[in-house]
Amino acid sequence: MSNVRGIQLALLAVAGVIMAGSVGYVVLGFGVLDAVYQTVTTITTVGFREIHPLSTAGKIFTMVLILVGVGTVLYAFSQVLETLVEGHLRRHIERRRMERNIARMTGHTIVCGWGRVGRAAASYLSGQGTEVVVVDVEPERMAEIPYPALLGDVTDDDVLRKAGLLRARALVAAINTDAENVYVTLSARALRPDLVIVARARTEESERKLRRAGATRVVNPQRIGGQRIAAAAAQPNVVEFLDVVMHDGSLEFRLEEVSVRSGSRLAGRTLHEANVGETTGALVLGLRDQQGMFLANPPSHAPIGAGYVLIAIGTQQQLTALQNAAHPPA
C-alpha cells in the first residue's frame, strides 16, 4: 500500500507541474494547446524547439520549469519502476523460497484444492503437527493460504512432483468436481502405489469410481454431515466427547492410530504378552489386521502382528511410549 500511495503522489505531482506550466505559458501569451504542448515537451526533455520565441521572463520560467518538472517526472518514473521491479522480485523470491521449503519436506500431506473442504482438512492437519502443502489452480487464492502452496493444475504430474508427492505421507483430493478428484487420484496412485489418498466425493457413483481409481478412503461430506447431525441429536455426549478427543485439544487424552512394525517388541505377541497397558499406559480400543478387518475392544489374547494398526487412547506421553514400543529398537 505504501508503494501505491507513493505512485499516486508522484503522478499528482506530475499533473500539478503540467497544470502550473500550462498556466504559466498561457500568461506568457501561448494558446492553451500550445501551452500544454510546450510544458510536456519541456519537462520530458524531448528537446523540440519552442513554439513561440521566449522573452526574458519566458526563458526564466522555462528554466525553473525544467528544474522542477524534470525532477518530478524522474521521481514518478522511479516510483513506478521500483514498484514493478520490487513486486516482481519479491514474488520471485517468495516463490523460490516456497519451492525450497517444499523440496525439504518429507512425510507431509498434499491438499489439492483450497475450497471449504480443503481449508478444513489443512487446518486440522496443521493442528495435529502435520506439514501441509496446498495446491490450487486459482491465482487469487494464493495470498490467503497460510501454508506452503503451489499454483498449478494438480492433474499435471509435474505439479504433483513439485508438491513433493514422492516424499509425502498422504494426499487429500478436495477439488470441487468429482471428475478432477478421480483424475488426481489416478495420477497420484500411478506415481505412488503406497500413498494414502483420501478423496472427496459428491455422489455414490463417484465414490465407487474413486475407489477403483485407487483412493484409500472416499469421503462424502454431505452424507457424513447428515450422519453427524443425526448422531449429535441421538447421542450428544458421545459426539461431543469424540469431538473433544479428536479435534479440540483441550482434553489431555488423545485418540491416535499406531502402526506395528516388524521387529518391534509388540509384533508376534498378544495384548496380554505385550502388556501394553502396564508398560505404556495407553488403552487399546481396537485392532486392524493386514486384511483391513477391525476388532473392537480386543480381548487380552488377541494377537498383534507386524502391519497391524492399534487404535489407542491416552495422553501424549502414553501414546508416544506406545509408538516407541511399536517400532523396532534403534
Dump pLDDT digits (tens) for 43-91. 877 766 777 888 888 888 888 888 888 888 888 888 777 766 665 556 6
Domain end, chosen from 54, 74, 101, is at: 101
Mean pLDDT of the chain: 86
235 domain-assigned: no
Give mean pLDDT, residues 302-327.
89
Q: Is residue 300 part of a domain?
A: yes
**89 or 296, which is more confident:** 296
* Residue 62 belongs to some domain of the structure: yes
pLDDT at 1: 45
Beta bridge partners of 200: 219
Distances (CA, A) of 296 to 213, 269, 285: 29, 18, 6
- In angstroms, the Cα distances linking 14 to 31, 67, 283 are 21, 13, 75
Total domain count for the chain? Answer: 3
Assess whether 114 and 93 both reside in one domain. no
Instruction: Give the model's confidence band at 111: pLDDT under 50 very low, under 70 low, under 90 confident, else very high.
Output: very high
Average pLDDT of 158-162?
A: 92
Give the CA count within 13 Å in the CB-facing half-sphere of 284.
Answer: 35
Residue 53 lies in a domain: yes
Asked whether 265 and 293 are in contact (CB, 8 A), the reply is no
Nearest to 313 by CA among 289, 287, 285, 291: 285
Range of the domain at 265: 252-326
> Which of 45, 68, 101 is at the close of a domain?
101
* Residues 94 and 138 reside in one and the same domain: no
Please determine, for residue 233, whether its predicted confidence score (pLDDT) is greater than 50: yes
Q: Give residue 10's pLDDT.
A: 79
Report whether pLDDT(34) > 70: yes
- Non-local (6+) Cβ contacts of 320 within 8 A are none
What are 143's three cell numbers?
495470498
